[in-house]
Amino acid sequence: MWACRLTQRTKFSYEGFRWQPQNCEMPDFERSAFLRRMKDKTLAFVGDSLGRQQFQSLMCMASGGEESPEVQDVGRKYGLVKARGALRPDGWAYRFPKTNTTILYYWSASLCDLEPLNITDPATNFAMHLDRPAAFLRRYLSRFDVLVLNTGHHWNRGKLRANRWVMHVKGKPNNDRKLAVIGNAKNFAVRSVIKWLNSQLPKHPRLKAFFRTISPRHFSHGDWNSGGSCDNTAPLSRGTEVSQDASSDSAVESAVKGTGLKILDITALSELRDEGHISRYSIKGTEGVNDCLHWCLPGIPDTWNELLFAQL
């Protein structure tokens, strides 16, 4: 669904650029080297659909973009099976048997624990526990060697209403006016999950944990549902360098400071790549609909994985 070469798009120059950090050499991503580094290890992405894109990108990079019949679907070991009536499972897990490397993704758009308020009612609301990490994280953390978290784009009133999420703190509906502000609630949840994960690191000394900064949107002249678009196809029209030291995602940067988590900072470098979005070139090609949030693959998320591999 993200393969822009299967759409009506005609310009693919965005595929030909690589990031070069100053004063250090970023290693080329070689799948054999990656799989050797990840021998007998499990790498987990937990987050929203941009986390899913990073997972899909890494699966393509690790398999060389080719069908690999030997790669095993091990989703069942992590409870990742399609529920009756669902469009897709809550995630996927695949094992590369030659090196016993598992790469998985779990959909948790807010990273918060979600609990149905009335389990017998299909239309029930969900308690969104801002101070409690997703149950999947608590259950399977001991199996992970590398964990990459992200959240951000679902923190708006429309998404909360559509998902029937009701903010809870300390097991009760939130009545703190400050936390009722969506941005404050998001930052509180991010700090909560980082604080929890940091407390778990001594029990899992081999675990390397990353929090990925937010992936930028490039809608102009409106939003996704009000005629917004991103028609630029010229690479680096916004500039060629990131010169700032601080992260453009200050909330994540401050939350990981002083903890055992590392920041995977992709915001500023992705900000310069507005030509790499799906734009209007989706597989379905719905008239008047632009996707200036998700990225073409191969594309910008590959860079995120190159940075991740370099840090590993």
| Secondary structure of 191-243 as H, E, C letters | HHHHHHHHHHHHHCCCCEEEEECCCCCCCECCCCCCCCECCCCCCCCCCCCCC
Answer yes or no: are the C-beta atoms of 113 and 85 closer than 8 Å: no
**139 pLDDT more than 90:** yes
Answer yes or no: are the C-beta atoms of 300 and 276 closer than 8 Å: yes
User: Per the domain annotation, does 94 fall within a domain?
Assistant: yes
pLDDT for the residue numbered 26: 85
Residue 163 — pLDDT band, cuts 50, 70, 90? very high
pLDDT for the residue numbered 289: 77
Overall average pLDDT of the 133-151 stretch:
98
Residue 233 — pLDDT band, cuts 50, 70, 90? confident
Overall average pLDDT of the 135-157 stretch:
96
**215 pLDDT more than 70:** yes
Tell me the residue range of the domain where 30 lies. Answer: 21-216+246-270
Sign of CA dihedral 289, 294, 298, 303: positive
Angle, helices 49-63/300-311, rounded to nearest 10 degrees: 70
Strand (E) or helix (H) holding 168: strand 165-169
User: Per the domain annotation, does 260 fall within a domain?
Assistant: yes
DSSP calls for 31-65: HHHHHHHTTT-EEEEEESHHHHHHHHHHHHHHHTT
User: Per the domain annotation, does 1 fall within a domain?
Assistant: no
pLDDT for the residue numbered 308: 97
Overall average pLDDT of the 51-71 stretch:
94
User: Per the domain annotation, does 14 fall within a domain?
Assistant: no
Which of 9-18, 226-235, 297-306 is predicted with the least confidence, judged by mean pLDDT?
Answer: 226-235
Overall average pLDDT of the 95-104 stretch:
98
- Give the whole-angstrom CA distance, residue 234 versus residue 236: 7
User: Per the domain annotation, does 144 fall within a domain?
Assistant: yes
Overall average pLDDT of the 237-246 stretch:
92
**287 pLDDT more than 70:** no
Count up the domains in the chain and report the number: 1
User: Per the domain annotation, does 278 fall within a domain?
Assistant: no
Residue 238 — pLDDT band, cuts 50, 70, 90? confident
Phi, psi of 245 (to 5 degrees): -90, -40
User: Per the domain annotation, does 37 fall within a domain?
Assistant: yes
**286 pLDDT more than 80:** no
**295 pLDDT more than 70:** yes
User: Per the domain annotation, does 281 fall within a domain?
Assistant: no
Overall average pLDDT of the 215-229 stretch:
77
Q: At 114, list the tokens.
A: 């979600």
Overall average pLDDT of the 70-83 stretch:
95
pLDDT for the residue numbered 106: 98
Residue 79 — pLDDT band, cuts 50, 70, 90? very high
